[in-house]
Amino acid sequence: MIKNLLSNSHNIKKYNLYSRISTGLNDNIVGRINFKDIIYNGNTIILKKQMINPEHVIDLKRIGYSFIQVYSEQLGGICFVNKKIKEH
């Protein structure tokens, strides 16, 4: 892993293995992973990290959602700073 390779010469400043995106509610969202709990009137519609199914899409549209945040299919990022540079 690149993190291990650079750990001797660099400090990690930001480490984020995932990212999130907002996406419209359509058939392409089925199978994606929800980013945060969605609760409506005290009822949990979908949990964080739960896979979205067709019934979720119907429920979310019914309560007025048109977009939802899901985990991105892209990787997040890691910010390294060279240890030889003094930090201020």
47-69 pLDDT tens trace? 999 999 999 999 999 999 999 99
Which segment of 17-21, 47-51, 65-69, 83-87 scores lowest on mean pLDDT? 83-87
> How far is 31 from 51, CA to CA, in rounded Å?
6
pTM of the model: 0.64
> How far is 29 from 31, CA to CA, in rounded Å?
6
Phi, then psi, of 4 in degrees rounded to 5: -70, -40
Q: Which helix (H) or strand (E) holds 23?
A: strand 20-24
Sign of the CA dihedral with 10 first, then 16, 18, and 21 last: negative
41 CB neighbour count, 10 Å cutoff: 6
